[in-house]
Each structure stands twice: as structure tokens, then as C-alpha cells.
Structure 1
């Protein structure tokens, strides 16, 4: 399947509309744009962009495409829920998940590449996580176990 995907990407990515999320999203946005005569910077497209990735099963456009058989799903809802509750231990997801579990009131935001803490100061504290293979259990568990608060974590990271 990997080789077929790479070949299709070289030939015409639109052939992968049912397999690749970004192709399905581009197709959805392009169709809406063409149908309504919009420019790419139109706020309606920005809203549609956000709605596409709404994770609520009854709201997200990607979920509608999956339900209608127009986009393949590679994982089950149970697998997604398990990953939310127990993220993989061999990627930065471990650090992000532990921070969310251990310091829920102090995490202002979490994304693929950072965790942002609100420690009650004037500015938020951002912990960048650019490298997917850093932040693993083996590299951060001892640090996280030694911290009672997110402030402790930030102090230890800075030293």
C-alpha cells in the first residue's frame, strides 16, 4: 500500500482523495470554493477548514466523509480513545499526555509540537517539542515523576 500511495502522489494526488486526509480536505475546500465563487482567503473557507477537523463525531466534516464512505479510516474509535487515555510511550505524545494528566489545570494548550502552561504569571510558558522522538517515557518519566507542579517542571527544564 505504501508504494501505491507514493506512486499515486507522484502521478496525481487527487487519486488519493479517499485515503489521504489532506487530499480529502483540499478537495472539500476546493469544491465549496468553486460552488460559491469564493477566494481562498474568504472567512467562510477558514471556518470550513476548522469544521473539517472538529473531532466531535457528529460535527467534523472528516467524520461525515468517513460515515458516507468517502474517506477511509485507518483506526477505530476505540483505538483513538485508548491513545487519548494512554498515549504511545515511544514518542513526544508521552510527554504531552503526561503533562495533560498530571497538570490539567495548568495546561493552557497542547499541540503536536508544544505544550503551553499557564502558571499564573503575565506570560504563558511554552515547552517546544519539535522532535517526534524526544519526550519519550524513557527520556522524561523520571523528570515528570519528580515534579509536583507544572512550575516545578518548567524550573527543571530551564536548568
Structure 2
């Protein structure tokens, strides 16, 4: 079963392998690495993924409107809720955010990393009341890092 029209990684592999074979390149060739980066370029006029969508080689599972809505409204039942709400409420105090952590810059000598390793922890049900109870990133970090009583 070919899933390259539905899933990102097989589509990217197909594209890279086709380019590699056409140009007679090794997998370590710098030109191939550039194509790899260009595939994921989010600019509509530059990204190779977007070109595949435009020519009908990729089937989108969600609409562009749904994607843009998800950027502003993360799901409430996963750790994306915590990450998204931290960015929305305390964006100026966040140095970085990724799948596995939110890193706060609270003006001290070091950054504070809050791990988000469990996909289902950080949901609205799990941290919503805590987020609603604090007025600043400092308060949130204090609550999250306080020793249990």
C-alpha cells in the first residue's frame, strides 16, 4: 500500500529518493540536504510540500482553515493545551517551547525548563485551574516547582 499521498514522511522520502536517483547523488550529498530542508519550508511559495499539495500529489486531511485555527486554539485534551496557554498568556517570558518542554526566562541567571513529556498531562482538565489561578509566569513556575506538602 502506497501512503505517500497521505503521510508526510513517505512523501518526503519519495521526493528525496527520486531527486537522489535523478541527480545520481548519495544520501549524504549537500544538495540532497538542501532539498530536505526545502521540503519543510512553511512559506507557501517555497516549500516543496506545498508544491506537492498544489499539484494534487498530497491529499490534505484537514483544511487550511483548520490548520490556522489549531495554531491559535490547541487541543484541550493533550499537553498542547499547556504549551499553547503558556505561550498565549506568558509569551514574553518564554524562551522556547517544544514537544517535550516549555522553557521560561524569568529574568534570573538561568532558564527554567518545565518538562511536558507525558502527552496527556497538561490537558485543560489537568492544568486549567492552575493556569487560571496565576497571574504571571513567575507564579506558574513557582507553583509547578514547589515541593509537595
Inter-CA distance 17–82: structure 2 relative to 1 (3 Å threshold): same
The answer to whether residue 31 in structure 2 is matched with residue 47 in structure 1 is: no
Cα offset, 1:122, TM superposition? 4.0
1:29 has 2:16 as partner:
yes
Q: Deviations over 1:17-51 (max 9, x none)?
A: 11111100111122222333333334433333332
CA distance in 2, matches of 1:29, 1:139: 41
Q: Secondary structure at the match of 2:85?
A: helix
Listed one character per residue, the Cα deviations across residues 120-152 of structure 1 (whole Å, up to 9, x for unaligned) are 344332222222111100111111122222232
Structure 1 regions of 5+ residues with no counterpart?
1-7, 9-14
| Alignment partner of 1:94 is 2:81 | yes
Whole-Å Cα distance in 2 between the matches of residues 128 and 42 of structure 1? 36
Question: Which residues of structure 2 form unaligned runs of 5+?
Answer: none
Runs of 4+ in 1 over 6 A off after TM superposition: none
Q: Distance in 2 between matches of 1:103 and 1:16?
A: 40
State the aligned residue count.
146
Q: Which residue of 2 aligns with 1:5?
A: none
- Larger mean CA deviation between 82-91 and 37-46 belongs to 37-46
Task: Please give the alpha-carbon distance, in whole angstroms, between the structure 2 residues aligned to 1:134 and 1:92.
Answer: 6
What SS does the aligned partner of 1:116 have?
A: strand
The change in CA–CA distance for 1:20 and 1:150 in structure 2 (over 3 A counts) is same
Q: Describe the shift of the 1:103–1:47 C-alpha distance in structure 2 as closer, same or farther (beyond 3 A).
A: farther
TM-score (norm 2): 0.85
Alpha-carbon separation, structure 2, partners of 1:115 and 1:51: 27
